[in-house]
Amino acid sequence: MDIVGNVLPQVLKDEATEDKGEMARLQSFVGAIAVADLVKTTLGPKGMDKILKPTGPGQEMTHITVTNDGATILKSMYVENPAAKILIEISKTQDEEVGDGTTTVAVLAGELLREGEKLIQKRIHPQHVIAGWRIARDVALKRLRDISTENDIESQEFHNDLIKIARTTLSSKLITTDRDYFADLCVKAVLRLKGSSNLDYIQIIKLPGGTIRDSYLDDGFILKKQITIGCKRRIENAKILVANTAMDYDKIKIYGTKVKVNSMDKVAEIEAAEKEKMKHKVDKILKFQPTIFINRQLIYNYPEQLLADSGITVIEHADFEGMERVAAATGAEILSTFDAPERRDQVLGHCDLIEEIMIGEEKMIKFTGCKKNEACTIVLRGSSIHILDEVDRSIHDVLCVLITTVKNRRVVWGGGNSEMQMAAACEEEAKKVQGKQALAIEAYARALRQIPTIICDNGGYDSAELIQNFKVELQKGNLSYGLNMNDGTVGDMKELGIKECMRVKEQAVMAASEAAELIMRVDDIVKCAPRKRERA
């Protein structure tokens, strides 16, 4: 009631709810911190895996997922807490931007909010906390850029950096025992792109069977299809026409239409007209003078026979993703009409050799010496589809990080070195700042230091002792030191060859800071009334 005793008007609907002030902020903190705590045990080279199992009627036999990839875990979660959804979204963004650091960004945002909650309890206004965090973020990013190094992209040092970054990224994955082999494989694949960031040129094929070490990099593009019966199995100096057009008109297909005929001769005339129409389309295709024809859709027997009789090798029903890759690798255009044969040189793809090969027990088509020679294929082998899926995710993360490194070229030492140095820079800055913002800057430094602390805890080591020893080494001037998780000590990252992409760290710090600021500003949560179905 107001001061004159009148009843205040109801703004929200009957079933709508509203949480204000401390209650709203508490809900946001709890949801976001819960998500961060869920994935933080997967952080680092000794992180644990999670099993993601779908539930519900009819899903008991659905394919399960075993992974420690933060983005995969968070994308599979269904949460109602809005703050938790924000953390899931920034993890997705991190995965799309740089491919790695998805767990780091969620954990760092959670730790920032944990520290922010302590400051709120001390009656420090959220705006003071946010102002301090912004100062700390700028100082941390400046220190990160100052400690990063850059080599010429053509130098052997840069190639060595790529190998080290790939090994470091793979150290937290399932294939950590074979990280040297896969690091070299991924670097060779990325260097074939010659500076391009188009991952379509790198095809990844998963084939159950054998062991993980049986995986290999194939020089060329492999299409998971077979050449049509009656066509050549080996074509040299191929001219490739890639199309997405209907080639199944040789049978009568009249949907929802009634046709009355008074004899079978009339039916034969309809069939003849359809065949003539298809022959006319095939004649148009032949004017392009290809040696191999790849179509997205089915090709029925009649046009297939016409093309084969003309000496053209036919591949039908190619999946759309495979077609896009073939077109990109061979320099072809995907056509749906064939009215401009004079553009033959622009629309046809070129390849030195196309042949049918056997991988495991499956027949596939291999394109070697493509016009755009950046194309290659990584063939993954493994004992089960669950292992292959996780290896695929690991290889994809490494490829994304390597491409980001080739574009950015700046690298930093791994093993928690960059987080500790950024935390030290924030603590130095806090000594120069007056007022409550200094407390927020110190809280930001503690949140950054939690990343190496969690890495130690996940490895079963004494994090308090290791982090203190780490701080002492940095204070002595050993700026290349970091956590050696193989034996639980503080070691020289230069000797161990542990490096990371600076862009991954930079994106994680910026995204985590923005998400934490967004959640920190919340002081009201309004839940709308559920929509009711009106009965007819």
Those residues whose C-beta lies under 8 Å from the C-beta of residue 348, and which sit 6 or more positions away, are 239, 240, 241, 288, 290, 332
Amino acid letter, residue 318: A
Those residues whose C-beta lies under 8 Å from the C-beta of residue 304, and which sit 6 or more positions away, are 228, 247, 314, 316
Spot the catalytic one: 67, 69, 291, 313: 69
CA distance 465 to 252: 79
Q: Is 176 a catalytic residue?
A: no
Q: Among all chains, which residue has been given the structure tokens 């909650």?
A: 117
Q: Is 69 a catalytic residue?
A: yes
* Angle made by CA atoms 226, 230, 233, in degrees to the nearest 5: 50
| Helix boundaries (H) for 383-534 | 385-408, 417-430, 437-458, 463-476, 493-496, 502-520
For 30: left if phi > 0, alpha if psi spans -120 to 50, otherwise beta; the answer is alpha
Residue 199 CB-density burial (10 A; 0-12 exposed, 13-18 middle, 19+ buried)? middle
Q: Is 339 a catalytic residue?
A: no
CA distance 375 to 194: 11
What's the farthest any 2 CA atoms get from each other in the chain?
Answer: 100
Q: Is 103 a catalytic residue?
A: yes
DSSP annotation string for 178-230? GHHHHHHHHHHHHHTTTT---GGGEEEEEEEBS-GGG-EEESSEEES--PPTT
Spot the catalytic one: 41, 65, 72, 102: 102
Spot the catalytic one: 65, 67, 103, 404: 103
Q: Of how many residues is the chain composed? A: 536
CA distance 259 to 271: 13
Spot the catalytic one: 218, 250, 389, 397: 397
The residues annotated with a catalytic role in the active site are 69, 102-103, 397
